[in-house]
Chains A and B, each alone.
Chain A
Amino acid sequence: MTRITVNVDGTSYTDDVEPRTLLVHYLREQLGKTGTVVGCDTSNCGACTVHLDGRSVKSCSVLAVQADGHEVTTIEGLATNGELHPVQRAFHENHGLQCGFCTPGMIMQSIDLLAENPDPTDDEVRLGLEGNMCRCTGYQNIVKSVRAAAGGAK
């Protein structure tokens, strides 16, 4: 067991973890942050995307011990005082989700994408989401959601 201290969604946690624990499992099983999900075992699907020190990462490909001393934001930490994040709202308003399983990862990656490129074209959005799979939406409304969120942020 290794002792780590991680700030997740604004709360600081100190825990003993097995070094082999993946960040996503730490979030889900030890912290109850089940909003972040696991969709694959080869780091391809992006469902587990969270922010580590403000940048998007696949939390299935980070060990919890690597997050020691760092800050993690999950889908559950986005809304402030009950106000949805603009990207969350845009996904709702543009029907950017169906089953919703990919959605936390999509939203977290979209936020990262917009931080880097506040006014992306459709193609830039598509390329920026190349690490996130969705089986339901055909991506069209996801792209629309991200563009709408960009417009709203201007």
Chain B
Amino acid sequence: MTAVEERPAAELGSPRLRKEDQRLITGRTRWTDNITLPGMHHLAMVRSPFAHARITGIDTGAAKSASGVVTVLTGADLKDEQGALPNAWAIIPEQKAPEHPSIAVEHVAFAGEIVAVVVARTAAEARDAADLVDVDYEELPVALDLKAAAADEVLAHPDLGTNVSAFWEFDSAAADTGGDVEAAISAARDGGVLIEREYRQQRLIPAFMEPRSIAADPTGEQLTVWSATQVPHFVKIFLALVLGIPEHKIRVIAPDVGGGFGGKLQFTPEEVLTVLAARRTGKPCKYTETRSESLVAAHHGRDQWQKITLAATKDGTVTGLKVDLVADMGAYLGLVTSAIPILGAFMYNGIYKFPAYHLSCTNVFTNKAWTDAYRGAGRPEATFAIERVMDELAAELGMDPIAVREKNWIKHDEFPFTTVSGMQYDSGNYEAATAKAKELFGYDELRKEQQQRRESVDPVQLGIGVSTFTEMCGLAPSRWLGSMGYVGGGWEHASIRMLPTGKVEVITGTSPHGQGHETAWSQIVADRLGVAFDDVEVLHGDTQIAARGLDSYGSRSLTVGGMAVLAAADKVLEKAKPIAAELMEASVDDLEFVDGKFGVKGTDTSMALGDLAFAVFQGHKLSAESEHSLDADATFDPLDFSFPHGTHLCAVEVDTETGRSTIRSYVCVDDVGKVVNPLIVEGQVHGGIAQGIAQALFEEGVYDESGTLVTGSFVDYLVPTAADLPAFVTDRTETPSTTNELGVKGVGEAGTIASTPAVVNAVVDALRSFGVNDVEMPCTPHRVWSTLQGRAADTPAAPHSAQSTSMSQEGQA
């Protein structure tokens, strides 16, 4: 009955190979698009080609009579049952927002918005018929440029009367967490140093590799919905709230999910419409988006202007930081659109002891795809701004950028530390991480080489970029979320089932899509219960199995969800102990739990947990009052966030003749506290760095002047491949978190948050001797070259010839 496998001495911290790999490397996968049910219909969406228009007529006649078409639905058909898509986070009570329909009824506010749904026997027939739907539009003026939109020059939603959704402010003097920033700025103006910069956080597209897909089966008593989502629990509750389907009649399953990065943290129009189509036709319905649809209509990320004012004394001590943000919401508010910039608002002060801080943020509507969470959500923006401007301060003062940081950062013996934005940092050691990173990088040698290249005016210049970041992670404390205006909580749930044969089922409310929870949670449980790693099965992503949960995003899964698993394991042991005592006829006080066995102290009588589970299953020797189960449920809601940190160093070679930037080396030392599985942590860091580099150098969601997404395919939206990225040197220091028993901090977003400023700082550093102090992201060869020429680096918004031109040409042929 008991486990036969020898388990390694320490399960926690061991680089276990992942359990989830076997099916993924053999193609035994269950992506939503794989699901085929008898009688299943397929959906195709008709989407608006215009960014802003009134719908004046829709003719579905030809489409309805096409082969295999079951029905064609328009906004007029669904307006009374579609409800409105939710925004779960009003950052101020008077926040303004347009009604957000799943299918447009009279008005479209971005190119890509759904205007009709074709339901047909096959996907091909659905697509054929979608081409036959004839929609008449009356075009309206478009609000595209963020700053112009903020000035209400053209309204994205004329009915709203303004483009401004909300204005939010934090002031350290008012909050009593610090001094008055205006005073610091005036002081710096005479006699100190004032750095004023404006940075652009370009629009990014999450571009998870698995396009979104939804299947809805209305044929059972419960409606079953499969969705390629990060948040099956959210989808369930919102289907209930938005469509009025009783919550207990809905089951949502997130099967294998191919990446998310925040892009699948959404309750989508496509989910609503697939469910409505299934309900109307009484048949299972499936919709899988194409990549083009995903790029135009799945939510985007970032897209802000950041005005930064940094006040300091001449010795490099920062005295105040002022931040003014304008954030592009796009056409609507999605689930947490409005709060994304605010999630960064508490992190602009980074790892530093700034005495005064002020932030304002204006959320603005435009006629573009709506923005929402994308890996890091608010914190990459904040970290970019502060780490860029700390380099500017160093340059202004002729100091080494690391020295300026050191002058201002929190020392390791000053933790816990309450920052100027009111966050309490639990633990950290910036000195240690930075020292290790410098050594691995060969910082001093690279500086020498840089000097030589500057002196010889080498056409290839070398730049060194520094980024010392921290983030608040483990999006959780429910009380904090409530105080910020979020409608939900942040706890997590887990349960553990002790099976009669000694195997263990762990049910988690997190919803992994690549992060390896099946492996890591198994390690936690194997460690705590003393069972073999392979005897643990982790179940997730099905609301019928994992009934409670708040899913995966915001680097929360381990710090919140993993802790819930640990708590459930402890409860199992608590329940097991008296039963073990009863069965071994010993006193509870004489029992100890070691290596998976309850033993009677001072004797060699013992009973393995697995044997106990079998005895409980039989019940033969249990008293009538005993509970015939060792299973346990637990939730965890942390007291506070945790604050991982790290030092990232990047060397970039800039070819001044062509403007091309090439990363020569990249070193990072992250401190994510205790580590459950170093292999998984390293993988998260690699992937995060790649996405951060992509923001620095490659990716940008570009619209043309009519509001058409120019980067509407992977030909123009440049996701880097292996051939475009360097190898990374990664290492860690380990300062345990004090906000949870495991001592862990989140890692999912760290790489993305840290790497972007490291790369851009390096590019700018390479060009510093030419008088350059900024290059807008992404730092394309054209932008770098134009900057060097002293020209405005306005890159035309037009796609590569082969896609648009060739294709429209072919289209005419």
Contacts and interface: CB of A to CB of B under 8 A. Distances in A.
Whether chains A and B associate is yes
A140 B728 contact: yes
A100 B26 CA distance: 10
B24 A139 contact: no
B29 interface: yes
Given A34-B31, A132-B722, A135-B209, A91 B690 contact: no
Given A101-B258, A138-B689, A141-B686, A28 B722 contact: no
B210 A39 contact: yes
Nearest to A99: B514
A143 to B, nearest CB: 6
Interface in A127-147: 127, 129-143
Contact of A130 (B23, B291, B713, B721): B721
Interface string A103-141: 110010000000000000010011101111111111111
Contacts of B683: 95, 98, 136-137, 141
Given A101-B31, A102-B209, A139-B725, A91 B21 contact: yes
Q: For B23, B124, B208, B722, which residue has the most chain A Cβ atoms within 10 angstroms?
A: B722
Given A93-B17, A129-B721, A135-B207, A74 B27 contact: yes
A101 B27 CA distance: 9
Interface in B684-734: 686-691, 713-715, 719, 721-723, 725, 727-728
Nearest to B717: A44
A45 B209 contact: yes
Contacts of A20: 124
A34 to B, nearest CB: 4
A135 B258 CA distance: 9
Nearest to A129: B722
Q: How large is the interface on A (under 10, 10 to 19, 20 to 34, 35 or more residues)?
A: 35 or more
Q: For A107, A129, A139, which residue has the most chain B Cβ atoms within 10 angstroms?
A: A139
Given A92-B21, A138-B689, A75 B208 contact: no
A99 B714 contact: no
B657 interface: no
Interface in A11-60: 18, 20, 28-29, 33-42, 44-45, 47
Nearest to B680: A95
Given A37-B31, A129-B721, A95 B682 contact: yes
Nearest to A122: B727
A153 interface: no
B3 to A, nearest CB: 23
B338 interface: no
Nearest to A131: B721
A75 B259 contact: no
A84 B26 contact: yes
A122 B728 CA distance: 12
Contacts of B18: 92, 95
Contacts of A104: 27
Contacts of B24: 97, 100, 103
A149 B31 CA distance: 27
Interface string B1-39: 000000000000000011011111111110101101000
A20 B18 CA distance: 39
B808 interface: no
A125 to B, nearest CB: 7
B258 A99 contact: yes
Contacts of B690: 137-139
Q: For B17, B34, B124, B209, which residue has the most chain A Cβ atoms within 10 angstroms?
A: B209
A110 to B, nearest CB: 10
A135 B687 contact: yes
Interface in A55-69: none
Contacts of A131: 721
Contacts of B27: 33-36, 74-76, 104
B242 interface: no
A74 B29 CA distance: 13
Nearest to B679: A95
Interface residues of B, number: 56
A129 B723 contact: yes
B291 A42 contact: yes
A87 B483 CA distance: 51
A98 B29 contact: no
Contact of B727 (A18, A44, A100, A140): A140
Contacts of A103: 24-25
A21 B52 CA distance: 35
A100 B723 contact: no
Q: For A29, A79, A100, which residue has the most chain B Cβ atoms within 10 angstroms?
A: A100
A45 B714 contact: yes
Contacts, number: 174
Contacts of B774: none
Nearest to B25: A88
A42 B20 contact: no
Contacts of A37: 29, 31, 33, 210, 258
A43 to B, nearest CB: 9
Interface in B764-793: none
A138 B722 CA distance: 7
B388 to A, nearest CB: 22
A80 B691 CA distance: 36
Nearest to A133: B719
Interface in B234-293: 256-259, 261, 290-292
Contact of B26 (A18, A35, A122, A139): A35
Q: For A18, A79, A91, A135, which residue has the most chain B Cβ atoms within 10 angstroms?
A: A135
A79 B687 contact: no
Contact of A41 (B259, B515, B713): B713
Contacts of B21: 91-92, 97, 100
B722 A143 contact: yes
Contacts of A141: 682-683, 686
A55 B729 CA distance: 34
B514 A45 contact: no
A132 B721 contact: yes
A18 B123 CA distance: 13
Interface in A69-93: 74-76, 78-79, 84, 88, 91-93
A42 B715 contact: yes
A127 B724 CA distance: 9
A95 to B, nearest CB: 5
Contacts of A135: 207-209, 259, 261, 687, 691, 719
A61 B75 CA distance: 35
B682 A127 contact: no
B803 interface: yes
A125 B722 CA distance: 8
Contacts of B17: 92-93, 95
A75 to B, nearest CB: 4
A51 to B, nearest CB: 13
Interface in B414-470: none
Contacts of B680: 95
A48 to B, nearest CB: 11
A100 B25 contact: yes
Contacts of B257: 99
A129 to B, nearest CB: 4
A134 to B, nearest CB: 7
Interface in B291-319: 291-292
B713 A39 contact: no
A38 to B, nearest CB: 8
B516 interface: yes
Given A20-B124, A44-B714, A135-B207, 7 more contacts: A35-B27, A38-B211, A42-B292, A42-B713, A92-B25, A95-B18, A100-B256
Sorted nearest first, the 7 A-B pairs with minimum C-beta distance are: A35-B27, A101-B258, A100-B24, A99-B514, A138-B690, A138-B686, A98-B514
30 contacts: A34-B31, A34-B33, A36-B27, A38-B33, A41-B292, A84-B25, A95-B680, A97-B21, A98-B259, A98-B683, A99-B258, A99-B514, A100-B24, A100-B256, A100-B258, A102-B209, A103-B25, A104-B27, A127-B723, A130-B721, A132-B721, A135-B687, A136-B687, A137-B690, A138-B690, A138-B691, A139-B722, A139-B725, A140-B686, A140-B727
